[in-house]
Structure 1
């Protein structure tokens, strides 16, 4: 008698099913924070829990997974500086950030892109898609450097567009260095809040926050102008 249904492992996953799976995975990652606290893990003897040569790679891997759970990246960057110092901490934070971005990119590209492609027909999203597709490195670099762009949003925006993986990874690794360095230095020098390193990093963080606030204010103000003019 012929088999009427394919084996479970060969069942086709429609775009909507894959998108739903992506949503479930991200929700589970975020919900996992109810079971463990990255802040406690990173601040209470992390290097004592992991053997010396493996502490750095383990931290970078946990850093990457934590970004998928939407753990605030400033917290992770500061922990890198506090645990490993400025130079090693910066290298590990950039590596963890890039790995986390690549994981999110892979999930978004594999599970969500096909289902969300019809949304790119709108004028604004289609323009963003063209820019990311044809100017991948430059566009992703700007998303990483410009203050106020959420890390996860940039990852999935790139994944749903046509940008290639290599430009995405390279632009991410380069673009996150300035902001990451500020928090790593702050974490490394937190024990000496009066030191020049801490004061400089705090000033850079404050300036970034101010630029983000100004950017958001200008964006909302720009949206309000057309309605004011027509009223």
Structure 2
């Protein structure tokens, strides 16, 4: 029940903020979201859209980064690169991490509020069947590895972990720390592109592609190993204790 109280409290705190942002900046945020889809074709457009918020640009970017976690189909790689493109490697990492942590908390809390039946409708069947085998509360180290694996569907994993008895503190630790290496790599790519360091950009993209390719090649073995380390099946844990 403690976990459910935490979820309700988080909703009461975050809900008014989301509504206020939507009320004042709804149109401009919508323009930013539309530009995100075209980022690789026209990176200058999204950069100009976010930069147009002036001193509020970091906060707007954090909101976009959080939103791409909650709305899983939005590509997180695009927003990760965007952070470095706009703010440089290290500030991009800080702002991206803040947004990813906020978005992960929202996804985790929404999952506990909505329950298993609705979460299953939100996640593609193939992804659910695979992830449900390894999304367990017992293996904190296992979950950390999953959040660190390049190309792994971390947004869907956030929703699934909300259905387990995993505590808020454990979840936020593994989801935040596990994402940092990949987030840094994306941010560094954006910074290199912004400063026309194309040699460095090529190296960073090659490293990211190699890691993603290795993860894909050995995906079955990774899932099997992690599945053996995990605990019991998923259930509706809206009443789980923290």
TM-score range, shorter chain: 0.5 to 0.7
Q: 1:64 to 1:164 in 2, by over 3 A?
A: same
Work out the CA distance in 2 between the residues paired with 1:194 and 1:125.
36
Q: How do residues 1-231 of structure 1 correspond to structure 2 at under 5 angstroms?
A: 36-39=34-37, 43-52=46-55, 54-69=56-71, 70-113=73-116, 128=134, 132-135=136-139, 137-191=140-194, 192-196=196-200, 198-216=201-219, 218=221
Corresponding residue SS for 2:193: coil
Higher relative contact order (CA 8 A, sep 6+): 2
Shift of 1:194: 3.1
Shift of 1:212: 2.2
Report the TM-score, using the length of structure 2 for normalisation: 0.63
Shift of 1:38: 2.5
Aligned-CA RMSD value: 3.3
Shift of 1:73: 0.6
Structure 2: 5+ residue stretches without partners: 1-29, 40-44, 121-129, 226-242
Work out the CA distance in 1 between the residues paired with 2:181 and 2:212.
14
Conserved 8 A contact 1:113-1:159: no
Shift of 1:139: 2.9
Corresponding residue SS for 1:149: coil
How many residue pairs match? The answer is 179
- 1:48-95 residue CA offsets vs partner (Å, 9 max, x unmatched): 32131x221221012101222221110010111111111100111111
Q: 1:115 to 1:59 in 2, by over 3 A?
A: closer
Work out the CA distance in 1 between the residues paired with 2:131 and 2:69.
25
Conserved 8 A contact 1:141-1:175: yes
Flag the structure with larger Rg: 1
Conserved 8 A contact 2:132-2:160: no
Conserved 8 A contact 2:101-2:175: yes
Shift of 1:112: 1.6
Q: Which moved more, 1:208-217 or 1:174-183?
A: 208-217
